[in-house]
Structure 1
Amino acid sequence: MKKFFILLVLSILCGSASWAQKIGYTDMEFITSKMPEYQLAQTEMKKFSEKWAKEIQDKFSEIDRMQRAYMAEEILLTEDLKRKRQNEIKEKELEAGEYNSKIFGMEGLLFQKKKELMKPVLEKVQRAVTKVCSQRRLDFMFDKSSDVGMLYTNPKHDYSDYVMEELGIDTKTKATAGDKVGKVEQPPVQAPTENSPKQKSTNSKLK
């Protein structure tokens, strides 16, 4: 819907006889990949993600240990002790699942930390973009790396160099269109979920 709206506005403006607006585009994905602040934020994000993932994994490892201990001792336990041990394991599973959601949920701590770390970077880029648009008298500037996309991009309208200059980034290292050298890829950190195999195994054994 957003892409359709943008294209509709452009078609209306381009069809107007009084068309006098100046349009430019930039590649924010490439620009941010060249910013030391962005690299640092990515590194910090990776540290937090790995730390939290390990904490969650440790919780499920403890559940697995409790489960194996219970299965080994089950024959020697009274019915009351069996129920007690089962409840302890279920409580640990619930705790681990809730903590996983708290960290990796849609509005979880990882999401909040990303917003916190990226805010200064994005604000700095926005100031540079605003200044370049003012200096170059641009009416519109689009980010070709966003999900809005562009059907055609004429290189003479690429203002990435100016934004990079404003940020103090060496423009000589700019890659050609489609060249993603310098793009920073952060591998996703796999964290256990409430439906992990271990939990299913535990629940099935304790029924």
Structure 2
Amino acid sequence: MKKIFILLVLSVISASVASAQKLGYTDMEYITSKMPEYQLAQAEMKKFSVKWGKEIQDKFGEVDRLQRAYMAEEVLLTDDLKRKRQAEIKSKETEAQEYNSKIFGMEGLMFQKKKELMKPVLERVQQAVNKVCSQRRIDIMFDKSSDIGMLYTNPRHDYTDYIIEELGLNEKADSDKNKAVGSAPQAQVGSAAESSNPKQKSTTNKRK
């Protein structure tokens, strides 16, 4: 599957180069880390996660309590009482499992809450991305922080700072970005002798 994806990415890049399309990439993880509204949404999500997690833990705790009580009294119970207690335990266990799926399952309440809280944040970022792509005449923009990843990233095509600037988050962005680039692996960002940033052009020669 990975080989198929790599071939697909290479095909897209080759087609883009052939048609003189301009490529760029950005770091959405870095961008959102600078957004106060994103941090607020994350904090709200954590509150809901803790609250719902505690409720689920209590439900399974009740199942465990009933189970231990049943085991301690089993020898004293009649067959009818045993069946009744077992049915009660099974019902409570099913209830806890269903509630857990309702909260943390696919399309569950946690997923819906995340989508609700993140929607305005992501819409704002997307508007900034669209504007930067339009201004810089970029045809394809990749996100280097996503699961898709990139085969190679040349800093000259990094438009993260432009999007940060468009969002009005550039007060500390430059210093933080420079630290991140300075500590990044050689294969990821290249060296000063290989390439240049859109906002800081290098006069050194590229590696042959």
Q: Is the 8 A contact 2:25 2:143 kept in 1?
A: yes
Identical amino acids, percent of aligned pairs: 73
Corresponding residue for residue 65 of structure 1: 65
Shift in Å at residue 138 of structure 1? 1.4
Which residue identity does 2:13 align to in structure 1?
A: L
Distance 1:122 1:179 in 2: 28
Deviation per residue, 1:18-71 (Å, 9 max, x gap): x43222111011111111111111111111111111111101111111112222
Q: Is the 8 A contact 1:125 1:167 kept in 2?
A: yes
Within-5 A mapping of 1:39-188: 39-169=39-169, 170=171, 171-172=173-174, 173-174=176-177, 175-177=179-181
Corresponding residue for residue 8 of structure 1: 11
Distance 1:63 1:13 in 2: 59
Q: Give aligned pairs, total.
A: 177
Corresponding residue for residue 189 of structure 1: none
Distance 1:3 1:147 in 2: 13
Change (3 A) 1:3 1:51: farther
Which residue identity does 1:92 align to in structure 2?
A: K
Q: Secondary structure at the match of 1:176?
A: helix
Deviation per residue, 1:66-122 (Å, 9 max, x gap): 112222222222211111111101100111111111111122111111111111111
RMSD: 1.8
Shift in Å at residue 6 of structure 1? 3.0
Instruction: Answer 1 or 2: higher relative contact order, Cα 8 Å, separation at least 6.
Output: 1
Deviation per residue, 1:148-188 (Å, 9 max, x gap): 222221112111111001111122232423859xxxxxxxx
Change (3 A) 1:128 1:21: same
TM-score normalised by L of structure 2: 0.78
Which residue identity does 1:94 align to in structure 2?
A: T
Q: Secondary structure at the match of 1:177?
A: helix
